Structure 1
Amino acid sequence: MASFLARENLTREEASVRAGLLSPAGAEPITIAAVIDLRDAKDLQTSTFPVTTTITFACSTPGAETFVDFINAGVDEVVLNGTALDLAEHVGPARIRLPELKAHNTVVITGHARYSSSGEGMHRYQDPADQQIYLYTQYEPADARRVIACFEQPDLKAKFDFTLIGPDDWVLASNMEPVRRSQSTAGSVEVKFGTTALMSSYITTLLAGPYAEFTDSHGSIPLALYCRQSLRDRFDHERLFRWTKLGLDFFEEYFDYPYPWGKYDQAFVPEYNLGAMENPGLVTFNDRLVFEPGATHTEWESLATVLMHEMSHMWFGDLVTMRWWDDLWLKESFADYMGTLAVVEAVPEFASAWVSFAVRRKAWAYEQDQLPTTHPIVADIPDLEAAKQNFDGITYAKGASVLKQLVAYVGPAAFQEASRQYFKKHAWGNTTLRNFLTELSSASGRNMSQWAQDWLTTCGVQSLAIRDGHVEQSGTDPCSGAQSLRPHTLKVGVFDTGTSPYLRVGTHEVTLESAKTAIPGFSSRASVLTLPNDEDLTYAKISFADTELSSVLTGVTEDELANATIWAGLWNMVRDAELPAVSYIKTALELLPQLQPITLFTAVNNNIITALERYVVPCDRGNASSAVAQNLLQMLPALSQEEQMTAAKTIVAAAQCTDLADQWLEELLQTPVGEKLGSVTSTDGLRWSALTAFARQGAATEEELASFRAQRPNTATEVGFAMACAAIPTPEAKEAAWQRIFSGTLSNELLSATITGFQCAEPELLQAYHDQYLSWIGPAWEQHSIGIATRMVAGLFPRTLDSRLGDDHVNPVVLKTQAWLEEHPDAPQALRRIVTEELDQARRTLRVLRVAAPYPGPYSI
């Protein structure tokens, strides 16, 4: 029984049994009232806070037993239906047994919960800029139980009543508007919030701290925005309110369903584990999205897309929720697709957002879908640990890509009508894939079962090619080993390579339902580039051979989305060892000024950085880095301001392996924050990246870094200082970083920064630590939360691989890791998944390095 009460990993079977017991037909909904006392939150020596939770619920089988989830720091009392339970028998660190239930039940649980520094549960943060304390909650998929007692599964929706007690000079907020604010004790207030509509526990939320607050309204919907006081001056609340209003109008019209949650608040919070979270009435964002001066169009577009993604969840995910985490895609894939669609159609300045989707989101999907841990979009999720790992490129980006193909297949009107009927029929409830397919079949007039089978329940990414006037598809489902054929509705573009840029001279619509099909009206002729998946309508890789490869390596088309599709294909070719990384880099440096919009320019720059870090042989990395730095420095004056900001980040990244940019880095460090070096705005983030480059070269001491740290105390400085100190290439600095990583004292973001800096080194300096990797990952998984353990296990994998030590069949890192997986079949599946994915990435890197060629100098192009 003790192990049961300590078990945090809720299984799907347990959740199903509990849902059946606590959801009798016709019963009143579950209600959960919680009083959370944060009066001592400013005292950082206080690690816990009091919480009292009262839960009322029905039971279909009187006399049965169930349990409440509560990952607690101590329980003082549990009173079930007026009777106090024996704490020793009924209470554990994660669960509380509730025996001998009645048809109608009330349980009152009084205890303490822990403040978090991991971004899970009630996160507490001290702002280094002014020492103020900020708190917020983050729960998905199952961390509400770190703050209150609840039934932590999505299909046991409840009505929540929250009361927060905290300092009287703080903002205290939740999903609903306050209904009462009263004095509690001297210097503190008690705020009671309105009762929520039915919602799952993981989307409830609390906010507390001296946040800067901005208010507005949109029709009858109150709007608010929050950020830390130290970010107030650069917080563009007017822009965010404008986007919010555009989004609300778009989604209410598109779904034909009014915004259902009353107010719409958005809070930007520190050290957030995600980009954002769709808590209804109070969406939370990572405050790294409160940009420094000089933010580019790419960054603003990314923020707008995140904002629309979360707003889409107010319908897809919050109003209608998946029954269990198998159908996580029912909210995340839809939100990823709808977020981009809303930006394209509702926000005028981002009409080309599908370009970003093609080169950023799909790139994530293609990478994830080629790992041995790939899974169907509708996944098999047996427990919460598996759910935590499934917020991945399949569930988000592949699912969204497949939805884009679905819209091409059934038509935009049918997809929209299916969505509208889905919300009308299932509002406030829980659904599975079948529910949406029913509406889609009805709206489109097609039986969607086979389409869903082909796309949603299979694995892997296919390849498209043009041969002899036909479009051909090929692929193998890695989950089943069977040949993979899917229906594709796509377009084939034809471009004249005799012009500059290449002009479109034809477009052919194709329905591909077998291994190959003829392209209607296609005629072959010289000097053309034929592009499968023009307009990026379907989800499949493309590659180029012979004259077509020569064409895309020497020129660009007139169409931005076509260029994005081409460069996505080139990047896949690098990762598949079909195109040497240095060839990609050289071509990118030659064509960068022609790659538009800025989002494509940015994506290619990011790929250059990844290529330098992972896919260029170590002995040539300095040469290639020098080429990148020198060419971009020469290119800077001719670039636009936003292109210069993007290129500057690439130069700084390349500078870790070359000193050719050192003079420019020195000038950057001498440029005060907010002022310009050429058209590059000096920012804290860019300066600390430069300092990390100097530290990696051995050209900056910890004392010098500390001097820069003292000049501008803020979050970016603390993160940058942690990374730069860990990057110093001495045994002493690496040992100090190692000790900090395992001290248990670092918050989530400082831990990741320290790990990143630690990994910046030649293999010889880290060899002893990498040799220990497989010995500590098991204990780390047991001793830390899954969020912190994931950062450690994934971040510290030995990634600096040298092909001179053998290919993917004999490399010692590969062999040792494979042996660990074989010897630990009973290790937690979530841990095995991380190790398996890192092993596969190592194997891919070694395959790419095996075909690598030296950088074709000279540096100047």
Structure 2
Amino acid sequence: MPSLTRVEATARGASITVESYQVDLDLTGGGERFHSHVTIRFRATPGTATFAEVKPAKLLAVRLNGADLDPDALDDNRLPLTGLRAENTLVVEAEMAYSNTGEGLHRFVDPADDETYLYAMSFLDDVQRIFAAFDQPDLKASVTLAVTAPPEWTVASNAEVAASPSPGRWEFAPTAPLATYFFSLIAGPYHVRRDEHDGIPLGIYCRRSLAEHLDADAEEIFTVSRQCLDRFHQLFTERYPFGKYDQAFVPEFNAGAMENPGLVTFRDDYVFRSAVTDSQRELRATTIAHEMAHMWFGDLVTMRWWDDLWLNESFAEYLGTRVTADATRFDQAWTTFAMRRKAWGYAADQRPSTHPVAPQEVADAAQGLLNFDGISYAKGASVLRQLVAWLGDEAFLAGLNAHFAAHRFGNATLDDLLASLSTASGRDLSDWAERWLRRAQVNTLRAEVTVDADGRYSEVAVVQTAPESHPVLRPHRIGVGRYAVDGTRDRFEVDLDPGADGGRTVLHELTGAPAARLLLPNDGDLTFAKVRLDQASADAVPLVLPGLADPLARALLWSEALDAATDGERPVAGVVALIAAALPAETEVIITEDVLTLSRSLVDRYLDPAAREAALARISDACARLLADAAPGGSLQLAAARGLIAATIDADLLTGWLAGRAVPAGLAVDAELRWAVLRRLVVLGAAGEAEIAAEEAADPSAAGAERAARCRAALPDAAAKQAAWEIIVSNTELSNRLVEATAEGFWQPEQAELTAAYVERYFAEMPAVARLRTPWTADRVASLAFPRYAVAQPTREAAVALLARDDLTPGLRRVVTDADDDLRRALIARTAVAAAAA
């Protein structure tokens, strides 16, 4: 299928204007197909030609201005349209295929009760899997939908139901102008809860088997939604513009959520069926706020083309975190952002596939899909936070409101937004935008400190550097924190001038001041830059970190230590020692969870395998100490238990927990924790297929099926590995989530010898696998199935050989390029450790 190019989209956008879609879907047929009928009214330059897109199972009829067209004229997904008039009507009737990949109209049969659920995922160019369309973001039009479905079902879409003329028939009101990728629909026996706030009808949906869990959290979800709506109405002069605000939690969703106006869709993992930590609840809250921010950035004002993706995602990421921290009980959302989201952004920005936040050119929609990454989300949001620190909040918000007023229900570009912000602030943002938005890669800020004999600063400087491949220095406004051993802090802000002395900024404010025990550049996390402490401060971290009251400062110090080890500047063993010294005193659950997650990646890949068991023992011991002191039934206890499960090799302890023996008071060994324990036992060779089958029988849910698939792929058995590999490379009957779970469980650091032969098979077979599935699923499977623990030069050589081929999909090329770069960094880190030891 050809991907729509920017050149084609620009030409089509100049020649036609879409006025409306009238869509009629019949969902009463069999389990494989549904009937689609669409009438599109559009204006065009008379005599010109263009094309519409549709991906049918069978194209039944096409009529343009009353004349029948030959359905066989369909070229792949493109329907040629010639001899256009000033006013045109296109009618397309087709049989369409349901998907099991989370794209188009996804069909799911719940294993808990055999009920069928449908939902639409039209992003990025998949509305054409549901009905024919001019599928590009700047051809916005109103959609009027009618649906025929089993009368006992619930059906919802972007707009309110206008009429139900007969049982099983739903006719919806026309929507405001929408980009095609915002079309939304759910259909099935969904459970629904309703509310209303400030004149806006609210609804939340899930499948029936999750009803009791949604009901348990409904008030929290509605409260967060109400609080976020109120805060956005305080920030923006434009009220929420799309009538009702429904949120549907749907099965086997590919993304975290999708910002369809009027009917936002979320992965239903956010309907918690087991105990969760407060950081998981915070993630749900920030996701709700993120999608709500899109109602203005993305939905009301839509990017013209995918090169301005940041106008959607960077703003939603920034505002989602900001509004969550401002308006909800999750007031430490910026700590989570610093610890988790920015680590994602830093990693993405240092890979070979890095790209500017706002690239000059995105050639086609396929390339646009690849840019939904840590740069467009986390780096872009960090850049906006830096911009707010520089411009001031009042000027920033004034610029945003002017932008909405100028482009409401239309499309806009980077230049449009910069013009609004420049007018509001009185500042020329062209140089700022060139350095921050048009240039890739990340700066490093290093503290250089000299102290005199009296213990006072002779000189303190912050040196900004950039990689040789991307030699751009940027203006940074940062906080500088001086910390004593007892955790007390003195802080001030300073502007780093990229043109001053080769990026070296002397902090004259500190000359002659008493030296602090620890000096932290970028205290407060105002900018997007890697930080390196001076040596004395780095040495003091184990002493100072446990006593710091500010969780954001603790997060920044943990991030600095983890990043320095990732870069091979300090040994991984140092991170493990810091975990042993400081983690048992940690009180913030997000820091605990992310330190354990990120450190496990270092231990499993960046540390010499001979040292791995000892490192895991130290991490396991730290988790055990944290678990012993944590409040029963609290988030920290659960995070410590999960960390212990992942690191321990004590199979007797884990088997006892499954049997209810020696379980810490207050810890619920519920469905999710049981699966985590069982997965670790499987990896350790202490549980097998019989235990997996028994657990699956006890948990006959979609989540249980995914956990079972992950466990089966992790079995240390040659036959199990072969069966799992066949699912990864050839099975298209299983859903996206089951294939992904299998790929995720396949590689285990404890099973290097067992899986050695599959390293070569990955590079030989993955090109065909990538073409077997749709891009979103194919790329995800390719990433999860990469032999990430085969940290060796032959693996890199196999990757280089694969990348030399000219038949790779863009997604696979990017996956392998980035994964190979991760291997390169892991090998450097191992070499650095060996050199330090020598």
TM-score range, shorter chain: over 0.9
Instruction: State the match for 1:250 in structure 2.
Output: 231
Q: Which consecutive residues of structure 1, in runs of 5 or more, have no partner in the other structure? A: 1-6, 24-28, 806-810, 857-861
Match of 2:711 among 717, 724, 729: 724
Of 611-620 and 528-537, the range deviating more from structure 2: 611-620
2:98 alignment partner, SS class: strand
1:655-674 equivalent positions in 2, closer than 5 A: 655=648, 658=649, 660=650, 662-671=651-660
Structure 2 residue 448 is matched with structure 1 residue 457: no
2:149 alignment partner, SS class: strand
1:377-388 equivalent positions in 2, closer than 5 A: 377-379=357-359, 380-388=361-369
Instruction: State the match for 1:64 in structure 2.
Output: 48
1:75-90 equivalent positions in 2, closer than 5 A: 75-88=59-72, 90=73
Instruction: State the match for 2:643 in structure 1.
Output: 650
Match of 1:350 among 330, 340, 343: 330
Match of 1:237 among 214, 218, 234: 218
Instruction: State the match for 2:370 in structure 1.
Output: 389
Structure 2 residue 558 is matched with structure 1 residue 570: no
Instruction: State the match for 1:808 in structure 2.
Output: none
* AA in 1 matched with 2:13: A
Taking the aligned partners of 1:597 and 1:110, their CA distance within structure 2 comes to: 56
1:417-496 equivalent positions in 2, closer than 5 A: 417-468=398-449, 469-476=459-466, 481-496=469-484
Instruction: State the match for 1:707 in structure 2.
Output: 694
In 2, are the aligned partners of 1:491 and 1:533 still within 8 Å (CA)? Answer: yes
1:575-654 equivalent positions in 2, closer than 5 A: 575-640=566-631, 641-654=634-647
Q: Deviations over 1:347-403 (max 9, x none)?
A: 1x2122110110111110000000011000002311111111110000000000000
Return the offset for 1:474: 3.1
In 2, are the aligned partners of 1:555 and 1:591 still within 8 Å (CA)? Answer: no
1:350 alignment partner, SS class: coil
Structure 2 residue 322 is matched with structure 1 residue 341: yes
Return the offset for 1:574: 1.4
Instruction: State the match for 2:492 in structure 1.
Output: 507
In 1, are the aligned partners of 2:36 and 2:96 still within 8 Å (CA)? Answer: yes
2:527 alignment partner, SS class: coil
Taking the aligned partners of 1:815 and 1:342, their CA distance within structure 2 comes to: 47
* AA in 1 matched with 2:43: A
1:260-409 equivalent positions in 2, closer than 5 A: 260-347=241-328, 349-379=329-359, 380-409=361-390
Q: Deviations over 1:71-93 (max 9, x none)?
A: 111101101111111122x2134
Distance 1:855 1:622, change over 3 A: farther
Instruction: State the match for 2:5 in structure 1.
Output: 11
2:754 alignment partner, SS class: helix
In 1, are the aligned partners of 2:119 and 2:187 still within 8 Å (CA)? Answer: yes
Return the offset for 1:627: 2.7
Taking the aligned partners of 1:282 and 1:520, their CA distance within structure 2 comes to: 54
* AA in 1 matched with 2:677: A
2:165 alignment partner, SS class: strand
Return the offset for 1:775: 2.0
In 1, are the aligned partners of 2:54 and 2:128 still within 8 Å (CA)? Answer: yes
In 2, are the aligned partners of 1:474 and 1:484 still within 8 Å (CA)? Answer: no
* AA in 2 matched with 1:12: R
1:681 alignment partner, SS class: coil
* AA in 2 matched with 1:653: A
Instruction: State the match for 2:153 in structure 1.
Output: 170
1:590 alignment partner, SS class: helix
Instruction: State the match for 1:207 in structure 2.
Output: 186
Instruction: State the match for 1:53 in structure 2.
Output: 38
Taking the aligned partners of 2:98 and 2:482, their CA distance within structure 1 comes to: 59
Taking the aligned partners of 1:208 and 1:96, their CA distance within structure 2 comes to: 28
Of 537-546 and 221-230, the range deviating more from structure 2: 537-546
Q: TM-score w.r.t. structure 2 length? A: 0.94
Return the offset for 1:612: 3.0
In 1, are the aligned partners of 2:24 and 2:146 still within 8 Å (CA)? Answer: yes
Return the offset for 1:546: 2.3
Instruction: State the match for 2:120 in structure 1.
Output: 137
1:111 alignment partner, SS class: strand
In 2, are the aligned partners of 1:126 and 1:134 still within 8 Å (CA)? Answer: yes
In 1, are the aligned partners of 2:39 and 2:92 still within 8 Å (CA)? Answer: yes
In 2, are the aligned partners of 1:134 and 1:209 still within 8 Å (CA)? Answer: yes
Q: Deviations over 1:54-101 (max 9, x none)?
A: 1110102x222111111111101101111111122x213412111211
Taking the aligned partners of 2:372 and 2:798, their CA distance within structure 1 comes to: 28
Q: Deviations over 1:109-138 (max 9, x none)?
A: 111111111111111111121121111111
Taking the aligned partners of 1:527 and 1:63, their CA distance within structure 2 comes to: 75
Instruction: State the match for 1:819 in structure 2.
Output: 801
Taking the aligned partners of 2:136 and 2:825, their CA distance within structure 1 comes to: 37
Instruction: State the match for 1:750 in structure 2.
Output: 738
Return the offset for 1:519: 1.6
* AA in 2 matched with 1:715: A
Aligned residue-pair number: 815
In 2, are the aligned partners of 1:470 and 1:516 still within 8 Å (CA)? Answer: no
Q: TM-score w.r.t. structure 1 length? A: 0.92
Distance 1:331 1:477, change over 3 A: farther
Taking the aligned partners of 1:290 and 1:842, their CA distance within structure 2 comes to: 36
Distance 1:282 1:506, change over 3 A: closer
2:642 alignment partner, SS class: helix
Taking the aligned partners of 1:798 and 1:67, their CA distance within structure 2 comes to: 42
Return the offset for 1:503: 1.1
Instruction: State the match for 2:455 in structure 1.
Output: none
Structure 2 residue 212 is matched with structure 1 residue 221: no
Taking the aligned partners of 2:493 and 2:243, their CA distance within structure 1 comes to: 47
Distance 1:506 1:102, change over 3 A: closer
In 1, are the aligned partners of 2:5 and 2:365 still within 8 Å (CA)? Answer: yes
Taking the aligned partners of 2:189 and 2:775, their CA distance within structure 1 comes to: 29
Distance 1:194 1:389, change over 3 A: same
Q: Which consecutive residues of structure 2, in runs of 5 or more, have no partner in the other structure? A: 450-458
Taking the aligned partners of 1:351 and 1:785, their CA distance within structure 2 comes to: 39
Instruction: State the match for 2:685 in structure 1.
Output: 698
Match of 1:516 among 495, 504, 507: 504
Return the offset for 1:639: 1.5
Of 555-564 and 533-542, the range deviating more from structure 2: 555-564
1:188-199 equivalent positions in 2, closer than 5 A: 189-199=168-178
Distance 1:724 1:826, change over 3 A: closer
Taking the aligned partners of 2:515 and 2:37, their CA distance within structure 1 comes to: 76
Percent identity, aligned pairs only, is 37
Taking the aligned partners of 1:210 and 1:198, their CA distance within structure 2 comes to: 29
1:434 alignment partner, SS class: helix
Q: What is the root-mean-square deviation in Å for CA atoms of aligned residues?
A: 1.9
Return the offset for 1:826: 5.4
* AA in 1 matched with 2:92: I
Taking the aligned partners of 1:842 and 1:78, their CA distance within structure 2 comes to: 52
Return the offset for 1:537: 0.5
Of 707-716 and 427-436, the range deviating more from structure 2: 707-716
1:537 alignment partner, SS class: coil
